[in-house]
């Protein structure tokens, strides 16, 4: 599962990335600091299942605090986009190719409007963040259009060779994780009966917009909510856009996670508050910074929003679920005795067979049925699993 971080330059993408992954990367208050993408591991929370059974998870990846299991997901922070990127402005839009594999993209915006259209710092309220969202989405559509444009001769030869339009487009777009049914639907809904070589620029763009809408959804991280004036803009974004919008302070999350890593505070991603471990270990400046985070972010918004954004992307937008495979249904462990070692992210319609496939293709080949560990009942391979199910897969020897 890969989540992309995109947006105008100098809005806090890398700060969000570092806050979620604790990977250090260059950040600064000026445009185009990030050039090469940063890849790291963040986490989504699942309400722990171990407490229900009186055991404690021993995750292979991520961790569990008894309340929540933190399940790894990959994050990719890319360079910033500005208007005209498809024409080569700023760093262009070729780097979006790195996002071919992402299932969903988070658009980070400067909610208080404290950076202009080129990413230069300006006083809050000087710029409209809605414009930035529109531009990023448009540059994304132009990127998809350019992928099709570049492949036109290939599409032509496939169609001459007898391929249908949707099959030819599927071949080009499958690397973007676009399903063939979606391509078919969009062609029909837009009444695109001619082959892509004969589409006007406008039609190609309409097609690309619609493909993105249905296959690569967005979540908006309205960042810098610690800056006054952010709230009015967030309310307006909510009225104008259909995408989920989460108030975020990436800077606050980074401060809290670093303080927790150094042992100064007790705080886990997504918590509504933190606790200072030993005041005498902190300077007055550090205590003041923590107080500001509490007052201007946590007390006002309930959390820093970083965790909520990742979870909105996975659960709300992609409608994914997390299930726990085990080999020993009594101990809830693998064969080495590790309790609930794996947590697997599956799509909404994910079945026992899909789970087996995710564990190992060999297991999937030999899988006979599953056992729902909560009620010890047999479940068939085509049984659609629920969020937080614990499943043993029984396979032929
Ligand atoms: N007040 C405030 N500032 C923030 C927040 N998040 C990021 N910033 C600041 O915004 C500036 C830009 O942050 P980056 O993370 O480098 O932004 P970026 O979008 O990755 O920028 P490019 O890679 O240059 O496109 C830095 O000075 C950050 O400290 C936030 O939540 N609140
Ligand atoms: Mg950056």
Query: In this structure, what CATH number is given to the domain that contains residue 384?
Result: 3.10.20.30
pLDDT of res. 40: 98
From atom 32 of ligand 1, which residue's Cα is the shortest distance away?
224
- Per the structure, the count of domains in the chain is 1
User: 71 CA to middle of ligand 2, Å?
Assistant: 24
**Is 90 exceeded by the pLDDT of residue 252?**
yes
**Distant-in-sequence, close-in-space partners of 383: CB < 8 Å, separation ≥ 6:** 351, 352, 370
Q: Mean per-residue pLDDT for 192-199?
A: 94
* Average pLDDT for the chain: 96
* CA 192/CA 196 separation, integer angstroms: 8
Q: Mean per-residue pLDDT for 274-281?
A: 95
Range of the domain at 342: 320-395
In a domain, 159, yes or no: no
Q: What is the dihedral of CA 129, 130, 131, 136, to 10 degrees?
A: 90
> Quick one: which atom of ligand 1 is closest to the CA of 10?
21
pLDDT of res. 13: 98
Q: Say which ligand is closest to the CA of 120.
A: 1
Task: Identify the DSSP state of 311.
Answer: H
pLDDT of res. 331: 96
Comparing CA positions, the residue from 306, 168, 157, 146 lying closest to residue 212 is 146
In a domain, 390, yes or no: yes
Comparing CA positions, the residue from 315, 111, 130, 125 lying closest to residue 241 is 130
- Of 5, 7, 8, 10, the one to substitute when testing ligand 1's pocket (max ligand atoms within 8 A of C-beta) is 10
pLDDT by residue (tens digit) across 136-179? 999 999 999 999 999 999 999 999 999 999 999 999 998 898 99
Ligand 1, CB cutoff 6 Å, lining residues: 9-15, 27-29, 31-34, 80, 223-224, 226-227, 249-251
Comparing CA positions, the residue from 224, 364, 231, 361 lying closest to residue 305 is 224
User: 204 CA to middle of ligand 2, Å?
Assistant: 30
Q: Say which ligand is closest to the CA of 254.
A: 1
Q: Mean per-residue pLDDT for 344-359?
A: 97
Q: Mean per-residue pLDDT for 207-232?
A: 95
pLDDT of res. 94: 86
- Of 9, 12, 227, the one to substitute when testing ligand 1's pocket (max ligand atoms within 8 A of C-beta) is 12
From atom 14 of ligand 1, which residue's Cα is the shortest distance away?
12
Q: Mean per-residue pLDDT for 181-193?
A: 97
- Maximum CA pair distance of the chain? 76
In a domain, 50, yes or no: no
From atom 8 of ligand 1, which residue's Cα is the shortest distance away?
12
**Is 90 exceeded by the pLDDT of residue 81?**
yes
pLDDT of res. 95: 87
User: 177 CA to middle of ligand 1, Å?
Assistant: 30
Q: Mean per-residue pLDDT for 359-379?
A: 95
Euclidean distance between the first and final Cα of the chain, in Å? 31
Q: Say which ligand is closest to the CA of 6.
A: 1
pLDDT of res. 244: 97
Task: Identify the DSSP state of 273.
Answer: -
* CA 358/CA 75 separation, integer angstroms: 20
pLDDT of res. 177: 86
pLDDT by residue (tens digit) across 95-132? 898 999 999 999 999 999 999 999 999 999 999 999 99
Q: Mean per-residue pLDDT for 331-348?
A: 97
**Is 90 exceeded by the pLDDT of residue 298?**
yes
User: 28 CA to middle of ligand 1, Å?
Assistant: 6
User: 42 CA to middle of ligand 1, Å?
Assistant: 18
pLDDT of res. 327: 96
In a domain, 384, yes or no: yes
* CA 53/CA 30 separation, integer angstroms: 51
Q: Mean per-residue pLDDT for 236-245?
A: 96
In a domain, 49, yes or no: no
Q: Mean per-residue pLDDT for 256-280?
A: 97
**Is 90 exceeded by the pLDDT of residue 223?**
yes
Structural element, H or E, at residue 363: helix 361-366
In a domain, 372, yes or no: yes
In a domain, 181, yes or no: no
**Is 90 exceeded by the pLDDT of residue 231?**
yes
In a domain, 133, yes or no: no
- Of 15, 136, 308, the one to substitute when testing ligand 1's pocket (max ligand atoms within 8 A of C-beta) is 15
**Is 90 exceeded by the pLDDT of residue 229?**
no
| Token output for 95 | 């780097």
């Amino acid at each position: 599962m890969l989540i992309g971080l995109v947006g105008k330059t100098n809005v806090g993408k890398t700060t969000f990335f570092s806050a979620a992954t604790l990977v250090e990367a260059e950040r600064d208050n000026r445009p185009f600091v990030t050039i090469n993408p940063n890849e790291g591991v963040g986490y989504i929370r699942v309400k722990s299942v171990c407490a229900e059974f009186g055991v404690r998870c021993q995750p292979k990846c991520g961790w569990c605090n008894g309340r929540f299991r933190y399940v790894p997901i990959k994050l990719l922070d890319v360079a910033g986009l500005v208007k005209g990127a498809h024409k080569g402005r700023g760093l262009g839009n070729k780097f979006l190719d790195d996002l071919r594999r992402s299932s969903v993209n988070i658009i980070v915006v400067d909610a208080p409007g404290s950076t202009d259209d080129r990413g230069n710092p300006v006083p809050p309220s000087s710029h409209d963040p809605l414009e930035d969202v529109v531009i990023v989405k448009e540059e994304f559509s132009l990127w998809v259009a350019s992928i099709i444009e570049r492949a036109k001769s290939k599409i032509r030869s496939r169609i001459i060779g007898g391929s249908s339009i949707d099959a030819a487009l599927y071949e080009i777009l499958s690397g973007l994780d676009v399903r063939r049914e979606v391509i078919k639907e969009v062609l029909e809904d837009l009444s695109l009966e001619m082959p892509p070589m004969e589409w006007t620029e406008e039609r190609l763009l309409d097609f690309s917009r619609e493909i993105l809408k249905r296959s690569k959804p967005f979540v908006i991280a309205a960042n810098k909510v610690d800056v006054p004036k952010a709230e009015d803009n967030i309310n307006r974004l909510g009225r104008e856009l259909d995408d989920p919008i989460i108030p975020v302070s990436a800077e606050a999350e980074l401060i809290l996670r670093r303080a927790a890593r150094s042992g100064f505070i007790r705080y886990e991603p997504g918590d509504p508050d933190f606790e200072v471990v030993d005041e005498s270990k902190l300077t007055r400046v550090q205590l003041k910074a923590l107080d500001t985070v509490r007052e201007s972010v946590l007390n006002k918004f309930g959390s820093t929003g970083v965790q909520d954004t990742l979870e909105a992307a996975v659960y709300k937008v992609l409608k994914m679920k997390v299930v726990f495979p085990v080999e020993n249904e009594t101990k809830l462990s693998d064969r080495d005795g590790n309790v609930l070692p794996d947590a697997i992210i599956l799509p909404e319609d994910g079945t026992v067979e899909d789970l087996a496939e995710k564990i190992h293709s060999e297991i999937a080949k030999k899988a006979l049925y599953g056992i729902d560990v909560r009620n010890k009942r047999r479940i068939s391979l085509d049984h659609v699993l629920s969020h937080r199910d614990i499943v043993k897969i029984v396979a032929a020897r």
